[in-house]
Amino acid sequence: MAGAAINESQKGFLEQIMQKANFPDIYDARDTTVVVFRTMRDMMTTEASDRIEAAFSNQEIAKLWRDDNPIVRLISRLRPPLKIDSEIFMRRITQEGSVPKDVTPQGVTIAVFSTVRNELPTEIVQEISGYLPDGVKVLWEQL
């Protein structure tokens, strides 16, 4: 997704994440949000991921949820959900995202979680909680 334009519908959503996580620019916020979403999807069935994507009222934000890499998207549809613990979840955010040196992966995750929860119906928020490892679930539920 690097280099892709950010449309107006995504801009407000990503600006909130940028501000909450202290990202230097909106593109870092977008790229890291995509990594958080990918890590979340990796723990879900294809059906659950599709249900969550469909639950977004703003389809431009739903596009951030859907992986834009066709190979990754295909593989994730074929393989079973991954077992990811809290440590691996945070390591993936650090290694795959654009996390600034002075920001923790937990801070980034909280910024994404608090923003995305406002975009989803309560029943979907509760469903997502069931897929998260314990330490990450605490971050999701405390918001």
Q: Is the pLDDT of residue 2 over 60?
A: no
Kindly report, residue by residue over 60-73, the tens digit of the pLDDT: 999 999 988 899 88
Query: How many residues does this entry show for the chain?
Result: 143
Q: Compute φ and ψ for 141, nearest 5 degrees.
A: -80, -20
CA distance linking residue 143 with residue 130, whole number of Å: 15
Distance from chain centroid for Cα 37: 2
Q: What is the pLDDT at residue 91?
A: 98
CA distance linking residue 67 with residue 65, whole number of Å: 6
For 18-26, the CB contacts below 8 A with 24+ separation are 20/110, 20/111, 20/114, 20/115, 21/103, 21/107, 21/108, 21/110, 21/111, 21/112, 22/100, 22/102, 22/103, 22/107, 23/98, 23/100, 23/103, 24/100
Q: What is the pLDDT at residue 30?
A: 96
CA distance linking residue 15 with residue 72, whole number of Å: 26
Find the range with the poorest average confidence among 11-20, 26-35, 50-59, 72-81: 72-81
Segments making up each domain of the chain, as ranges: 8-141
Q: What is the pLDDT at residue 29?
A: 96
Q: What is the pLDDT at residue 3?
A: 56
Q: What is the pLDDT at residue 15?
A: 98
Domain 8-141 fold is: Globin-like (1.10.490)
Q: What is the pLDDT at residue 44?
A: 97
Q: Is the pLDDT of residue 105 over 80?
A: yes
